[in-house]
Each structure stands twice: as C-alpha cells, then as structure tokens.
Structure 1
Amino acid sequence: MTLGGQAADLGGKVLKVGSDTTYPPMETVDETTGEIVGFDVDVVDAICEKINCRAQFVTTAWDGIFAALVQGEFDMVASGVSITEERDKIVDFTDPYLVMSQSIMVRVDDENVTLDDVKAGMKLGAQTGTTNAQLAESLVGRANMNVYDTGAAAILALSNGDIDGVVVDGVSATAYEQEFAGELVPAINGLESDPLGLVFPEGSELVDAFNEGLAEIKADGTLDALINEYFGKE
C-alpha cells in the first residue's frame, strides 16, 4: 500500500479485460445497448477511478480464458473467478473482493430435493472448467454430470429437462430464478464458498495497483454499495 493514502496512478492506461459475458449478474451483454455490464464491470470501473485507468471489457469464452491471459491477449480477467490453488500456479490474483457460495438449481417440481436426493442419482450440469463443475463431480461423479461451455447453456439444459440440476454460484442462481420465474428455483443453497479475485498474468505490476484501489473502494463504502445494489444483503 502506498504511504500517505496516495493511491497508485496508472496514468490513464486503457486495460483490456477478458470476461465471459454470459454470467449474470457478474457480467453480461445488455441486449438493448450491446454494452458489457454487471457487478464485475462496476467493481473494475470503481477501482480504475481510484488508480487512474480505464477498463475495456472483451468478451471471451470461459474455456481457455486463463491461457489467453497468459498469452497476453488481455491485461487482466474479471469474470467471477474463484481463487484456487490450482489457478494460482499460473496466474496472480488480487485480494478477494467477494465471497460467493454455490447453489443447486432445479425445476420447480423438484424444489424440495435434499442433498441426499442429489447424491442418490440426480444428473447435474455445470459450466466446464469451474469450481461449480468440480463440486458437481464430487457430489454425483463424472459419469452422472454434463459440462457446458457456458452457465447459461447448463441452465437451458435444465429447463429443457436434459439434466436434473445445475450447480451455479448463488448470485447467478438468483438472477436465473428471476429470468425463469415459476420454472426454475435454487433448491439447495450455501454449499462451498469461494473467494473471488481479479486475475493478472504472473508477475504483473498491476496487481499491487489494483489491490490499492480495491482497498480504497472497500474503505470508502463503494464496494459495499455495489454489493447491496446487485445482491442485497450479503
């Protein structure tokens, strides 16, 4: 942290930010304007206001997003990324900016299912390469789950009856419940909790600057206000 309360200054630098923009409310494409919007976008923009930079979000598929970062296609990734030991071996993370629990979404007819019911033979889906997919596999085994390129595709498969449940992050479960009102619900909540971080290539000088900016938006209430705006009480 810079002494004297003086934040880092990136001199107005424009940063390319890779993001899987199929993940409401974290990041999605506004159907009316075509702009990338969401919680992560607002968090990064708020940090950039503190450290004098500008974020240019770029839609990219989740599968391969870290490889693209390492190869220099982006300056950073902001995409609801869980901080894990495995990922930390190839990229650098900021301090956590949100802790997110996982949920299992089902069709309304199955809303009273229990975790024991899930383990007894439900077929689960999840987005490939995510901690959600890891949890699904630990619950039902690889042979009894399907992985999808996007979380939205997994939700659609649930809606279509191809699978019995989807493991998603809790905040996304709430968004999908609103989108599929009366059809899909989060039946099991509060499963494993993941801290989320912003992601940079290993050794990036931007990590310290973003940690400074993140500390500032935590201290002045900006982050809490965004959490309340998007998720209500956390």
Structure 2
Amino acid sequence: MKKSALILALLMCLAILAGCSNSTQQDAPAPSTGTDAPAPDDSASTPEPDDQLAAIQKAGKLVVGVEGTYYPFTFHDETTNELTGYDIEVAKAIAAQMGVEVEFVESEWDSLLVALDTGRLDTVINDVTATEERREKYDFSDNYFYSARQVVVKTGNEVGLHSLEDLNGKKIATNATNSWVGRLEELGVEIVPIDNTDQCATMVETGRVDFCMFNTIVLGEYMIQHPEAELEVAFVIEDDINEVAIPARKGEERFLNEINTALQSLRDDGTLLELSMKYFGANYCDDPRVK
C-alpha cells in the first residue's frame, strides 16, 4: 500500500513538472527574425540647403555693393539724388527675377570686393571685369556687358579701315597717355596729339585725321551728348575687350545659377538691350566678336 502511494505521488510530480515546462515554452517570446523591426521613417523632410542662396531667400533681399559715383553705371541723379544707372537697374531686375528685394551698399571701389570676401555683400554689380586674375578668386556669372576698344571713323568709312593692318600710314588723334601709342607706332600710324574727347571727334569729322580710338563707354556717352556727330565704329579690336560679369564667392553654385537664369531672362525679354540703349546709346550687352 505504501509502495503504491509512493509511485502515485511520483507520477503526479512528473506531470506537474511537464506542465510547467510547456507553460514556459508557450509564454516565452519567439526570437526576432528581423522582419518585425520598425520601418524607417520616410516622412522626415530633406534638410534645407545651407548656402548663400538659401540665406538670401530667407532674408528676402539681395545685398549688392556699388560705388554710386561711377557714371553711367552707378551714380546719383543730380536732381533727385536717387541712386541710378545701368548696373543699378540691372541689379533691381535680377532681384525681381529672384523674387527678393535689393539693398545697395555704397563704398569705394577698392573695398567692394573685400566686402564680398567677408560676406558683408552678396555680390558686386558695378562694371566688374571678369579678368583671369579675378576668376582665380571668384566664380563669375555669364557676361552681360562688353566694353571694347574701337577704331572710330567718320560716317561712311571712306578711309577704308577694317582691321589693324589697314592702319598703316594713317593718322590718329589721341592723347600721349594712350596705352596703345607704342603699338600704333609699330603699325605705322602717325600720332596727332589732342587733349580731350571733343577734340578727337572733331578732328575725325573734319578729316584732319583718319581715325580715333574710343572705349565703348566713352563713345556711348559722347554719342548721347552729340547725337548729330558723324562718327561710326570701323571695327572692334578683338584682343582688347573687357567682359563684364557678376562675381560670387567660390562654391556658391545655386546662387550663381539663379543669377544666370535671371540674366538670360533679361536678355531674352530685351531688358538688357533696352538698358544698354538707354545709358550708352548702343548695344553693349552682346559680344561684339559674335557676328
């Protein structure tokens, strides 16, 4: 009897242990296979660009450095004292294309590019020639103005000047400080000294000399003041052309692309040509080397 009770008790203990084991296995969490890992949150927004264009758009303004004393690019109207000029209107038009206001900061020329370096200015729009030396330090927009040295003759070009080779044996009215005097003498040109632009133009018109050489800006201003002048451009000296563009600090690609897009729009809708005619009396927004 005692032996039967002992066996029965042993069997009951085994049954209880088996039940506990099954319960433990059922309650234990299944090992992770990786398929239940939380999915990445694709709703997170892409970080906003942190560059000059973003800063301009956030501020709502384009800060432009100008001289304010450089006629006819940036100057003050004598009557209203309003800041105006070719580059002032170009800058305003670019800012409008970008959807921001423009703020002009006036300073002496020597300090303008320094202010661009330090970030006090977004750019300088003040007849900035994109020289090779400057291109090493700054990125530049597409050219929007061309300042060239031109051979100018009396209307009709009866003297038949079409290239530098044609200048041999001809007379030029120019001042002694003209940087081209030495080269002109090498070309066989006779130098007739004068003191100012008016004298130069008059001597060409009266036939006392065959030609003169005017910079784009000088000729444009003279023709606006003397619309009756019988002068025309015989040809442009192609290795003496200043390409004017808009500088930006190195690496600001989005800003520069925005400037180029604006300039192309102003070129396409005729704004650049209209401003060139207004301030210079001729088209200086197109490359004179492209026929």
TM-score normalized by structure 1? 0.60
Whole-angstrom distance in 2 between the partners of 1:43 and 1:208: 20
The structure, 1 or 2, with the larger RCO (C-alpha pairs under 8 Å, 6+ apart) is 1
- Structure 2 gap segments, 5+ residues each: 1-47, 190-194, 204-210, 278-282, 287-291
Q: Which moved more, 1:160-169 or 1:72-81?
A: 160-169
Task: Quote the residue 1:153 is aligned against.
Answer: none
Task: Give the alignment of 1:126-205 within 5 angstroms.
Answer: 136=180, 139-140=183-184, 157-160=196-199, 165-169=212-216, 173-182=219-228, 185-192=231-238, 193-200=241-248, 202-203=249-250, 205=252
Question: Could you tell me whether the CA contact under 8 Å between 1:51 and 1:210 is conserved in 2?
Answer: no
Name the SS for the 1:72 alignment partner. helix
Whole-angstrom distance in 1 between the partners of 2:219 and 2:264: 25
Name the SS for the 2:237 alignment partner. coil
* Aligned alpha-carbon RMSD (Å): 4.5
Question: Could you tell me whether the CA contact under 8 Å between 2:113 and 2:124 is conserved in 1?
Answer: no
Question: Could you tell me whether the CA contact under 8 Å between 1:124 and 1:167 is conserved in 2?
Answer: no
- Structure 1 gap segments, 5+ residues each: 145-155
- Structure 1 residues 184 and 95, CA gap change in structure 2 (3 angstroms): same
Residue among 63, 69, 88 paired with 1:41: 88
Task: Quote the residue 1:209 is aligned against.
Answer: 255
Q: How many residues align?
A: 202
Higher strand share: 1
Task: Quote the residue 1:227 is aligned against.
Answer: 272
TM-score normalized by structure 2? 0.51
1:111-157 C-alpha deviation (Å, 9 max, x unpaired):
7663544885635469x9xxxx77x468437xx9xxxxxxxxxxx82
Name the SS for the 1:103 alignment partner. strand
Verify: 1:122 aligned to 2:172, yes or no. Answer: yes
Name the SS for the 2:196 alignment partner. helix
CA-CA distance at 1:186 after TM superposition: 4.4
Whole-angstrom distance in 2 between the partners of 1:103 and 1:94: 25
- Structure 1 residues 16 and 215, CA gap change in structure 2 (3 angstroms): closer
CA-CA distance at 1:14 after TM superposition: 5.4
Structure 2: which amino acid aligns with 1:177? M
- Structure 1 residues 54 and 174, CA gap change in structure 2 (3 angstroms): same
Q: Give the greater-gyration-radius structure (CA).
A: 2
CA-CA distance at 1:56 after TM superposition: 0.7
- Structure 1 residues 123 and 204, CA gap change in structure 2 (3 angstroms): farther
Whole-angstrom distance in 2 between the partners of 1:28 and 1:186: 28
- Structure 1 residues 181 and 28, CA gap change in structure 2 (3 angstroms): farther
